Structure 1
């Protein structure tokens, strides 16, 4: 019996060797070939070194940006600030997901499925278990309902279009769900009953990698996984609250949702909401990658303060502004950005408030409005002394304990000093302003390039 067992093992080993494509050589695991793909609406910022900080006079005497030579890796950056139209895509995705979830739960409670029509058309995908794969059935049996609602882990049906016209609602159950989505009759006026935006909440989780690394193996993985849930609709009241004794109601009423402002930068978004947008954008892209059987892309995120300044400089050494400087007026007598010139003549640069995201000339990295229009959130926490201790390689002073987050670039309501690429400013992470927006970045994976990829 022992000889038979040894013979069997030898035979298996022999078969394994004969059938191997490696010929016994160390060739590595053969994965799919990775081809870097430039994300839509982004520009590649090549790796490089620059002098971060104020080499020119510190007019405000804040002494928070001493010069320091640093190096950053390659990354992609949005060529414009995130626009109202782009942020509305996020809001509408959250809205639609909430509606589909409510419809699916109601269908489940009523025991209705696709064959029943009406609200049953929006039942969870696992309502018909005969169509589930072995994997989906296993996940349903072992992981669904493991959460606060009891419906976690169940797939929504995105194949069925939602109906928004009240005259076309399929049944009374659909009416019940949609009615609860809108504000009450008592809160509506002029015959307009709008969606209750406080219901538009985005829930996601992320892992605090830095905290996990510093823990040096202490604690389990779940100790560093953070859960977030927040309202994601922009605070449109900022147009009123930011400026007392000023008439800005048209901006409050129309700026975010009206098509006239679709290509203008979104404002009224807090740092936390900007982070949620980054998470959603990553998920939205990778859901599509998964459907195509393609490899996942890495995360979209807010730029670090050093990345933002490096990109704003556009490769110009010691420039005061993204176009070099030191002047804010071109040789043809036109202003180079949207800000508050001439001691309060807001309209001298042709704009009273914001302008479209692709306005004025881009810098040498083809990035628009890195000075003026709206200030931009960065991922970095604000410490006036951070330049003294941050690393010279990809520097970043990120801290979850510091609620002050760096904003850069100046805005339509700021004087020229705040438009300088080296000027630092901050706002609290849960604050929203009519003059703060953001743009996202994504790390470049692959061979580092000192020049942009061919378009």
Structure 2
């Protein structure tokens, strides 16, 4: 999917944002209306809001706790995190089975091992919560973004750029990594002398993170969105597709256009809700 974007922030969009409750303003970034071009096709998008970060463990635990408190046991079992995926899907990750989702040290780390249905129901729960607390002037709808909406926000005001910060490189001018990915140094790359295939070995982190990083790590893009590339691949409304790459992806696979397919909860996949606000 090759796409370019043209954003057109309006005074009315900014006015609306300034009228939203502080909790909403501080957690969601305004994505202005504009045009997104996919190949030879173009699509007009109205403004929307996107969570500045991936959903973290603390927020998802609050969601599960609310389900349990209200006796929604069936939903709780569907949406609960499958921490055993750390064991079955990854190597040398046994400690995360018991600690990653539940220990306070990981409160601000992105929730993973969540099903598509769990992510959708989290969005539904957040919609209900916002409408109960802040329904005086606005109606709120929270959902997963489509792939086009996500890509539009990732590219922000910059066209045809592989990464959300606009440049083609994974490090800034100071040599700092710009996202959480499988950083492979030149000294770890080998070419087979017979098949001439290239492989990497001993790729443990050069980017400051062993697995995931806290959701406000690295630098946000121009819209204020963190970790659109790397950290965890993010579910979109199209089931089975996660975008932006993860902490276990190579640099090429954390581009804005990168796609990862999934069929079940994964330690590599999280999500980030989109918010639509309508004045009553």
Scaled to the shorter chain, the TM-score interval is 0.7 to 0.9
Aligned residue for 1:345? Answer: 203
Flag as ranges the 4+ runs of structure 1 deviating above 6 A. none
Deviation per CA, 1:378-414: give whole Å up to 9, x if none: 0025xxxxxxxxxxxxxxxxxxxxxxx3210100001
Aligned residue for 2:148? Answer: 306
Which structure 1 segments of 5+ residues have no match?
Answer: 1-33, 53-65, 99-198, 203-228, 382-404, 447-455
Which structure 2 segments of 5+ residues have no match?
Answer: 1-15, 185-199
TM-score, length basis structure 2 = 0.81
Number of aligned residues:
244
Aligned residue for 1:133? Answer: none
Equivalent of 1:285, from 130, 133, 150?
130
Please give the residue correspondences for 1:32-431 in structure 2 after superposition, counting only pairs within 5 Å.
36-37=19-20, 39=24, 40-52=26-38, 66=39, 68-98=41-71, 200-202=73-75, 231-243=78-90, 246-289=91-134, 294-295=136-137, 297-342=139-184, 343=200, 345-381=203-239, 405-428=240-263, 431=264
1:432 to 2:265 alignment: yes
Q: Which has the higher contact order (CA 8 A, sep 6+)?
A: 2
Aligned residue for 1:396? Answer: none
Deviation per CA, 1:206-262: give whole Å up to 9, x if none: xxxxxxxxxxxxxxxxxxxxxxx852211101111112xx22111111000110000
State how far apart, in whole Å, the 1-side matches of 2:85 and 2:231 are: 16
TM-score, length basis structure 1 = 0.51
Determine if contact 2:138/2:278 at 8 Å carries over to the other structure: no
Alpha-carbon offset, residue 444 of structure 1: 3.8
Larger Rg: 1
Determine if contact 1:230/1:273 at 8 Å carries over to the other structure: no
Determine if contact 2:108/2:215 at 8 Å carries over to the other structure: yes
Alpha-carbon offset, residue 425 of structure 1: 3.0
State how far apart, in whole Å, the 2-side matches of 1:314 and 1:358 are: 18
Alpha-carbon offset, residue 424 of structure 1: 2.7
Q: Which has the higher strand share?
A: 2
State how far apart, in whole Å, the 2-side matches of 1:352 and 1:67 are: 40
Q: Over the residues paired in the alignment, what is the CA RMSD in angstroms?
A: 2.0
The DSSP-based 3-state class of the residue aligned with 2:237 is: strand
Determine if contact 2:151/2:256 at 8 Å carries over to the other structure: yes
